[in-house]
Amino acid sequence: MPQFVKYNLKWDEGTDPLEIELLMIQKGGQFMHQNESCGEGLFFHYKEAIKIAWPEEYHNYWTDLILSEILKNTITAIAGPKDTGKTRGCAKYALIDYWAFPHTTLFLISSTTLPMLDLRIWGDIKSLYRRAKILRPWLPGKVLDAKRAIVTDDLDDDDSVQVRDMRKGIVCAACKNEKDEYQSIAGYVGVKQARRRHIGDEFQFMAQAMFDSIANMNSGDYKGIFPHNPKGQDDPADQISEPDCGWENLPPITRTTTWNNKLFKNSRTICLYGPDSPAIQEPDGEKKYPFLLTRDSIERVIAGYGLNSFQHISQGLGIRKGGLSAKRVITLDMCKKFGAMDIPIWDGSPRTKIFALDAAYGGVGGDRCVGGHGEFGRTVEGTQVLRLHVPEIVPINLLLDILPEYQIANWWKRYCELHGIPAENCFYDSTGRGSLGPPVAQVFSPMINAVEFGGNPSTRPVSQDMFIIDPKTRKRRLLLCSEHYSKKVSELWWTSHICIETGQLKGLTKATIDDGSKREWKEVAGNKICVEAKDEMKKRTGVSPDLWDWVVTVIEGARQKGFQIRKMSNEESEVQGKEWMQALLDKMQRLRQAHALNY
């Protein structure tokens, strides 16, 4: 049979070009054969395979960068704005990689919901697969639409002996169910296969458990790819793409760039900078790349949301900017900015210890039982500060004959005796947990204090520098919590926000901040602050904010025992802040003089 030479190898005439590229990929892209170097490297052969399989697909420096980084790294985070081809590039890589190793590869494709899988990456994979199969029916795999999967085993309809192995192919998994609740993909994580690949689409919206599962998958021949739009809110995408120098030390991003990641070995991030879009930078780019981000797209985002808004920076520029979203009660960046992770230096005057407990009985509903204490006093700077000590998870053994309430009460008593905390300085979240009071009163003391998270906000001042004009007396007075918050839990949580901003909350740990930074808020009728309901947060994130509930309980207890939230402005800023009043008064006097009769 006639033969031809390609890549220093002899091939039979009529060999499909895609077969050649897939074989070169199987051989590692470059190898020695009869003392000759064969092949051009993995990047070259993957790209050639993509060109052959889908000749109408475009190629540019963004697609080349994505493919190159995926092939070089164990974990690749792909950050960028909308319409950058992140998902499409991942889909093409997945199919070529699977076709090269159809009997030893399992691709797990995850996204938020089944509809989003169909609209995004699974939709792309099916479309690309069917187009390639029309020209090359010999390509391995069979689409199982009902299972959202492509499997290698193609069984006959009357085959009742063989069983299809679902561990060979591409399998999709939604991380939320129809109730918008996060569900586990642990069953997929533990699957054993020689080559394991994971594409986590829309990774910024995943629960913390998804991020944690990567450590379990990251062994052997594993590769993870995580496309996302950056939010900068310590979400899973934010964590996996954090540079090795830390977010705070990353130089401002003004062009498409890459960096090594902090948490995983051989892990890198690609940051696709919106204005670098090939549709903007290349001549006739908008015609060549009709689905890529254009200058008009960026301008529409600016027109709708404003220059340097969260939407502009995330969806137009595609860069990470911590603390941009006003929807989070607290953020890691604000905690760092106001020194909430620092340890105070006391001035030697007496301090008051406060114990707090966020109760849960044996992990019911996924909640943890958190206990610990803080102490407030004056620092060498003369400021009243509340310092938190590292909280503890209260151990509850459901196999014991002792009721969980009494296990908590016994632990509570031992903790307070060890740290010298009187019962009257003990507080606990009593919302839906009324049964805890009697056991603690019996075992420890009836002097403990209940903090009710439900109901209406209090009539205390929000802080010492938030004023309004009383609608009845028309006199200036402090703004009350009942006028600023929609409900009591909003008051308790937002008070922690203010304590951080005033620099009065210290000793926070990264784990505690991570717990609190997931909860969102919004404005409701009357311009009141309304913190997201816990059930809604648990549906959205898959976790319960038990550590931060403990924090706000400590703060509430401290306030009841004399801790005051000071002014957020200093004297100098107050003087400057009143200059506008004097300017208005001067303007009024000039107007009166200009229009006064002079005869």
Give the model confidence (pLDDT) of 355-382 as tens digits: 999 987 654 445 789 999 999 999 999 9
- Count of helix runs (H) and strand runs (E) in the chain: 23, 24
Burial of 392 (0-12, 13-18, 19+ CB in 10 A): middle
Distance from C-alpha of 293 to C-alpha of 115, rounded to nearest angstrom? 23
Mean pLDDT, the chain, integer = 87
**High-pLDDT (> 70) share of the chain, %:** 90
pLDDT of residue 361: 65
pLDDT of residue 109: 93
* 71-75, 425-429, 514-518: least confident range: 514-518
| pLDDT surpasses 50 at 569 | no
pLDDT digits 0-9 by tens, 115-127: 889 989 999 999 9
Phi-psi region of 85 (alpha: psi -120 to 50; beta: other; left: phi over 0): left
Among 189, 227, 289, which Cα is nearest to 90's?
A: 227
| pLDDT surpasses 90 at 11 | yes
- In order of 358, 362, 467, the CA distances from 429 in angstroms are 5, 16, 30
pLDDT of residue 339: 95
Distance from C-alpha of 87 to C-alpha of 201, rounded to nearest angstrom? 7
Distance from C-alpha of 234 to C-alpha of 545, rounded to nearest angstrom? 14
Over residues 461-469, mean pLDDT: 80
The per-residue b/e assignment along 5-38, b for 16 or more CB within 10 angstroms, e otherwise, is eebebebeeeeeebbbbbbbbebebeeeeeeeeb
pLDDT digits 0-9 by tens, 164-214: 677 899 999 888 776 666 666 666 666 778 899 999 998 887 877 777 778
DSSP state for residue 400 in the 8-state scheme: S
Residue 101 CB neighbour total at 10 angstroms: 18
pLDDT digits 0-9 by tens, 143-159: 999 899 999 987 654 45
Of 186 and 296, more confident: 296
Place of tokens 């038990």: 546
Enumerate the β-bridge partners of residue 522: 530
| pLDDT surpasses 90 at 522 | no
Measure the CA angle with vertex 480, ends 477 and 483; round to 5°. 115
CA dihedral 326, 330, 335, 336 (to 10 degrees): -40
Confidence at 570, pLDDT banded by 50, 70, 90: very low
The answer to whether 56 touches 68, Cβ cutoff 8 Å, is no
pLDDT of residue 576: 44
pLDDT of residue 388: 98
Within 8 A by CB and 6+ apart from 331, the residues are 233, 234, 322, 323, 517
The answer to whether 222 touches 105, Cβ cutoff 8 Å, is no
Confidence at 572, pLDDT banded by 50, 70, 90: very low
Residue 519 CB neighbour total at 10 angstroms: 23
- Strand 195-200 and strand 505-506: the pairing is unpaired
Of 355 and 477, more confident: 355
| pLDDT surpasses 50 at 575 | no
Within 8 A by CB and 6+ apart from 42, the residues are 25, 28, 29, 30, 71
Over residues 323-330, mean pLDDT: 68
pLDDT of residue 577: 46
pLDDT digits 0-9 by tens, 78-130: 999 989 999 999 999 999 999 999 999 999 999 888 888 998 999 999 999 99
Structure tokens that stand for 591 in this block: 């107007």
Q: At what angle do helices 42-53 and 17-26 cross, to 10 degrees?
A: 150
Pairs from 349-352 (Cβ < 8 Å, separation ≥ 24): 349/377, 349/378, 350/377, 351/375, 351/376, 351/377, 352/376, 352/377, 352/425, 352/558, 352/561, 352/562, 352/563
What is the per-residue DSSP string for 38-72? E---HHHHHHHHHHHH-TTS---HHHHHHHHHHHH
Distance from C-alpha of 86 to C-alpha of 78, rounded to nearest angstrom? 7
Cα-to-chain-centroid distance, residue 377: 35
Confidence at 43, pLDDT banded by 50, 70, 90: very high
| pLDDT surpasses 50 at 232 | yes
Q: Which domains does the chain have, with CATH numbers?
A: 1-46 (no CATH), 54-317 (3.40.50.300), 332-570 (3.30.420.240)
| pLDDT surpasses 70 at 226 | yes
pLDDT digits 0-9 by tens, 493-507: 999 999 999 999 999
- In order of 398, 413, 424, 444, 549, the CA distances from 439 in angstroms are 17, 11, 16, 8, 21
Over residues 292-318, mean pLDDT: 87
